[in-house]
Amino acid sequence: MSDCVVGIDAEPDHGDMAQLVGGLTEYNALHAAGDVPNYLLVSVRDATGRLGGGLLGATYLGWLSIQVMWLEEGLRGQGHGGALLALAEEEALRRGCPRVFVETLSFQALPFYERHGYQVHSRLDDFPPGGVRYTPTKMLGGAVRVSR
C-alpha cells in the first residue's frame, strides 16, 4: 500500500473490524502452531427459546477466555451463572484447555467468580476511574496453578 492515510473511524464498519481480527488471528496462528480461537456460547433460554443470558468465550492456546457473561436481572441468584461456568469449564477441559481467565470490573462480578474458585491474577487500578479491573483465573481439573 502506498499513499496511506491514518485516521479514526468513529463508527467502525463491521467488515473492517472483522478484517482486523482476521488478520491478527492469521498472524498469531503462524506463531502458535496453527492454533486459532475456538468459540463457544453457553446460553440460558426460556421454553420459547428466548435468550435470557449466557457466556461467550473461546478456547485458545490452552486457555478458556470468558469474553462475555451476562444474565437478565430476574435470572440472577438462581444458580444459572454457576451452571454457565460449569458447562463452559467442562467444554474447555474437553478441548484440552485446563486454564480459564476472565476480566471483570469492580462493580461487576468478582465475588461471583471467587465463589466459583477463581483467584485474582492481576488488577488494574482506576479502570474505570475510581474502580478496578480484575483478571481472575482458575485452574481446572485439579491442574497445578502456574506461578507468576
Percent above pLDDT 70 for the chain: 95
Q: Which three cell numbers stand for residue 138?
A: 482458575
What HEC string does the chain produce?
A: CCCCCCCCCCCCCHHHHHHHHHHHHHHHHHHCCCCCCEEEEEEEECCCCCEEEEEEEEEECCEEEEEEEEECHHHCCCCHHHHHHHHHHHHHHHCCCCEEEECEECCCCHHHHHHCCCEEEEEEECCCCCCEEEEEEEECCCCCCCCC
Q: Catalogue all structural domains in the chain, each as residue range(s) with its CATH number.
A: 35-139 (3.40.630.30)
Sign for the pseudo-dihedral over CA of 91, 34, 57, 65: positive
Mean pLDDT on 42-65: 98
Among 19-28, 78-87, 92-101, 138-147, name the one with the lowest average pLDDT: 138-147
* Closest of 129, 138, 125, 71 to residue 98, by C-alpha: 138
CA distance 33 to 9: 33
For the entire predicted model, the pTM comes to 0.86
With cut-offs at 50, 70 and 90, classify the pLDDT of residue 142: low
Percent of the chain at pLDDT > 90 equals 93
Q: 66-104 pLDDT, tens per residue?
A: 999 999 999 999 999 999 999 999 999 999 999 999 999
| Model confidence band, residue 1 (pLDDT cutoffs 50, 70, 90) | confident
Query: Looking at the predicted structure, is the pLDDT value of residue 42 above 70?
Result: yes
Q: What per-residue confidence (pLDDT) applies to 141? A: 84
Q: How far is CA 140 from CA 9, 36, 69, 108, in A?
A: 41, 21, 19, 23
pLDDT beyond 80 at 147: no
Residue 19 identity: Q
